[in-house]
Structure 1
Amino acid sequence: MPQLTTPHVRYRASFLEAVEENVAEGEFFGDTLKRELDVYGGTWHEPDGFARYVAAIREEELEEGRRPEGFVPAGWYWYVDGDSYLGRIQIRHRLTPSLLEVGGHIGYGVRPSARRRGHATAMLRDVLPYARALGLDRVLVTCDTTNVGSRKVIEAVGGQFEDERDGKLRYWVSTDRIHRGC
């Protein structure tokens, strides 16, 4: 049964397959995958190189952790089924002015071969208790105006539409919605 987990080296082979799928589709999780490929892509195929990558993204969650310039602390969770990597989701601990406009608290992506199976909805639903544990009563989740699938995912977990800004639809999702049976 698929579940969220913290990034771990045991998923290296499946993660690398997913990266190849995303690159072939021209999808880069915003610019995140491009940045990761630039910094770590040359060493991902080696166990030690992948271990350094996993340690680095896990460190991004720490307030004092290293992360790209201008980034806020953010926790990564991978969605896996056994040893198969299906996708990832990130919770940004706070919003900068830019994140408030178009980025939001949460970003997610499902590998192309695992799409249209409800994984994105399950990931978003399952990450809400983690956001709640960070003290976030509600989270901002955004998507491109043209991304019908993501819009449906956000609405499926109770996202309340606020507005459109700069080509992004902005929704607020209560982190306690799971407890209300929504």
Structure 2
Amino acid sequence: MITLVQPHKDLEQEIFDYKAEMIEAGDTELSGCGSLDKYDDYDHWIRHIKTYSNKDTLPEGYVEGSQWVLVDTARNRVLGFVNIRHYLNDFLRNYGGHIGYSIRPSERRKGYAKLQLQLALHHLQSLGVQKALVTCDVANIGSYKTIEACGGVLEDIVYSKEHGHTKRYWITLKK
């Protein structure tokens, strides 16, 4: 079974294997991974992501979010990561959107990105969000095809020196 779960101790080695595979493939940003690239200690990373899931511990300027891992439970394998932002601030409205995600390089082109995005959209819907903003770099063909396959409608492309050209898509969530 392939499902989204919140990170837990039993996934520690798989999560660090995922991180190593991403970095080895040149994906140093680790989209949707809750700043995993900055942590070598699993427990510290877990504390970090929990900080962002609680409005009482949220750093100023950030929004509440939840960290999820796409897992193939039959293989106990981490396939992807998704970070779901429960609402938008100005930065997310332009560049980050409601959802950030990535798929393990060895598991790409197998339909997992679409499944992961669909599951994340369902979670957003359960939070009461009616329209989800999902963004990606204009050069990330796999990501924008995934977003479009999930109903994404391109609103525009924005530019900044820090982020380059970013495609902004809206997805209407079913009631």
* TM-score (norm. length: structure 1): 0.84
Q: 2: CA distance between counterparts of 1:32 and 1:77?
A: 8
Displacement after TM superposition at 1:59 (Å): 3.7
Matches within 5 A, 1:86-165: 86-165=79-158
Q: Is the 8 A contact 2:4 2:68 kept in 1?
A: yes
Q: Tell me, what secondary structure is at the counterpart of 1:29? A: coil
Q: How many residue pairs were aligned?
A: 167
Q: 2: CA distance between counterparts of 1:173 and 1:136?
A: 10
Q: 2: CA distance between counterparts of 1:56 and 1:30?
A: 16
- Once superposed, what is the RMSD of the aligned Cα atoms? 1.9
Structure 1 gaps of 5+ residues are: 44-49
Q: Which structure shows the higher helix fraction?
A: 1
Displacement after TM superposition at 1:97 (Å): 1.1
Q: 1:88 to 1:100 in 2, by over 3 A?
A: same
Q: Point out 4+ residue stretches in structure 1 off by more than 4 angstroms.
A: 30-33
Q: Residue 3 of structure 2 aligns with which residue?
A: 3
Displacement after TM superposition at 1:56 (Å): 3.0
Could you tell me the percent identity over the aligned residues? 34
Q: 1:116 to 1:173 in 2, by over 3 A?
A: same
Q: 2: CA distance between counterparts of 1:119 and 1:112?
A: 11
CA displacement, residues 40-64 of structure 1 (integer Å, 9 cap, x when unaligned): 31x2xxxxxx234224313421111
Displacement after TM superposition at 1:36 (Å): 3.4
The one of 48, 62, 65 equivalent to 1:74 is 65
* TM-score (norm. length: structure 2): 0.87
Structure 2 gaps of 5+ residues are: 160-164
